Structure 1
Amino acid sequence: RQVSAGGDNSCELELNACNNVQFDMSRFGIDFVASPRHADGVVITGPITANMAGPLEICYNAVPDPKIVILVGTDAISGGIFADSPALDRDFLTKYPVDLYVPGNPAHPLTFINGVLDMLKKQ
């Protein structure tokens, strides 16, 4: 399940490209699903604004165990240019473990796909 937790939507556009014919990540058995109850994890983009902190936690809690957390993009990883903003609530990152950090602003689709495949090989 992908959650846009604020930001400029550039990472969401690249994640959407992961499903096009050029990158076709579904050939590896990786798909984004609409319901967190059908997901194996949460992909987070954006710096996690105060308005999205609650919905993000609800989504995380709805994903069945064991679950994976992936942060995509500079904003999700460090807060990016919004890092010092009082509008952010990044407590989620101290409460729950993060399994994969995918750097970039935005992250390239192949960077995301390769990162997920490498992570899954190690588990």
Structure 2
Amino acid sequence: MADIEPARLRLWLRHEARTTECRAPLVPADAWRLIEHGWDLAVEASPQRVLPDDDYAAVGCSIRLAGSCVDRAADTLVLGLEELPQQPSALRHRHVCFGHAYTRSNPARSACSSDSRKAVGRCPTWST
């Protein structure tokens, strides 16, 4: 009987559309750790990210075109910092985003609605 290789987990670090955003939610050293544990990591090229694309490539990440996460397999987990661009309006991936949502703002209401909570995760509420 042939050995069955379990499906690899796919993580995609997206380029931030906001031109002032240079932070990264995943550093190359931690990307390497995930790769060592069987993850398949892709990083969108980003001239504004504080960590160079070459640093991610050096630890085994594949470098992809900015904005190409929308064309990936549906089981790909997409990682980013800020809000997603308005288009495409429907996404088929799970997205992990880090951001600020103030309870009395319209973006907070849409980001923390019961429909999107599955993709966004837990949205705490607090008084402003």
Q: Rg bigger for which structure?
A: 2
Larger proportion of helix: 1
TM-score by length of 2: 0.35
Structure ranking higher on relative contact order (CA contacts 8 Å, 6+ apart):
1
TM-score by length of 1: 0.36
